[in-house]
Amino acid sequence: MTIDEFIDDATRRMDKSVESAQHEFNTLRTGRASAALLDRIQIDYYGTKTPLNQLASINAPEPRLLTVQPFDPSSLPSIERTIQESDLGLTPSNDGKIIRLPIPQLTEERRKELVKVARQMAEDGRVAVRNVRRDVMHHLKELVDKGEVGSDEEHRAEERVQKLTDDHTHKIDDLLKRKEEEILEV
């Protein structure tokens, strides 16, 4: 592989890390109802862990209400139990066909907990980006050791990789800042 191919690969992998962090942030609860809140929920459906969005349609008919309508009505009790036991802090109620999830106003304490969770998610994203940088730096050193590139080229490539890393880390920081504002917004 050439230096440019390594850097293109690093860019792709870092972009995926940022996308993953963005997706994780979307699963965090704020004051508004969002179907993405239930993305992490896995239901035990006939012995198989299955994402909730594959077993039911999820809607947000009002700003503070989610509805979950299972495709198979017999899965209603296990869906309800799994949501109840999750870390979302939501209390489901069902009428036999549909589960309603009222989204309560967040307490100050719960907001602070969610901000901590968001910061941990951001840190995981930054670690993923730095791991990509470490891999690429290792490959660049191998190219120099094999004599395929000179140390000047390697140095320039390392600077490009570092700039890439900084850019992606800043993107994650910006996502975190927005998510924190969203969580703390009363």
Concatenated DSSP letters of 133-173: HHHHHHHHHHHHHHTSS-HHHHHHHHHHHHHHHHHHHHHHH
Q: Report the alpha-carbon angle 18-22-23, nearest 5.
A: 120
pTM for the whole structure: 0.73
Tokens of 124: 């995981």
Sheet holding 93-94, edge to edge: 56-62, 65-70, 99-102, 93-94
Summarize pLDDT for 13-66 with one digit per residue, the tens. 999 999 999 988 887 867 677 888 888 889 988 888 999 889 999 998 888 889
Task: Assess contact for 83 and 38: CB atoms under 8 A.
Answer: yes
pLDDT at 159: 94
Amino acid at 61: P
Average pLDDT over residues 88-99: 87
Q: The domain spanning residue 56 has which CATH number?
A: 3.30.1360.40
97 and 118 inside one domain: no
Rounded CA separation 18/45 (Å): 31
114 and 137 inside one domain: yes
Count of domains for the chain: 2
9 and 72 inside one domain: no
Domain boundary among 85, 102, 119: 102
Task: Assess contact for 165 and 27: CB atoms under 8 A.
Answer: no
Range of the domain at 63: 35-102
Task: Assess contact for 82 and 49: CB atoms under 8 A.
Answer: no
pLDDT at 40: 83
Closest C-alpha among 186, 183, 25, 29 to residue 101: 29
Summarize pLDDT for 107-123 with one digit per residue, the tens. 888 888 889 989 999 99
Domain boundary among 102, 117, 145: 102
Provide the 8-state DSSP code for 51: E
Q: The domain spanning residue 115 has which CATH number?
A: 1.10.132.20
